[in-house]
Amino acid sequence: MLFNSLDFFVFLPIVFIVYWIVFKKNFRLQNIWLLFASYLFYGWWDWRFLFLIFLSTLVDFFVGKGIYDSDSKNKRRNLLLFSIFFNLGLLGFFKYYNFFTEAFIDSFSFLGFSLEQTWTFNIILPVGISFYTFQTMSYSLDIYKGKMSPTKDFISFATFVSFFPQLVAGPIERASNLLPQISKSRYFNQEQAKQGVKLILWGLFKKVAVADALAPIVDDIFANATGYPSSTLFLGAVLFGFQIYGDFSGYSDIAIGTAKLFGIELMSNFKFPYFSRNIAEFWKRWHISLSTWFKDYLYIPLGGSKVKPIIAIRNVFVIFLVSGFWHGANWTFIAWGFLHAILFIPVFLTKNNRNHLNDSTGCKKALPTFKEITKLMITFFLVSVSWIFFRAESLPLAMEYFETLFFKFSYGYYLHPLGYRMVDYFILLFVFVIYEYMIRRNERNPFPFKSKFVRFSLYCIMVFSLLFFYDSGIDRSFIYFQF
Catalytic residues: 327
| Helix 370-391 × helix 331-349 angle, to 10° | 160
Helix segments in 44-144, DSSP class H: 50-69, 73-91, 97-110, 129-144
Helix segments in 113-170, DSSP class H: 129-144, 154-162
Residues 68, 137: Cα–Cα separation, whole Å: 15
280 three-state secondary structure: helix
Whether the bond between 171 and the residue before it is cis, its omega within 30 degrees of 0, is yes
Helix segments in 183-229, DSSP class H: 190-205, 213-223
351 three-state secondary structure: coil
**Residues ≥6 apart with Cβ < 8 Å to 426:** none
DSSP per-residue codes, 227-270 = GS-HHHHHHHHHHHHHHHHHHHHHHHHHHHHHHHHTT--PPP--
- Cβ-count burial of 182 within 10 angstroms (0-12 exposed, 13-18 middle, 19+ buried)? buried
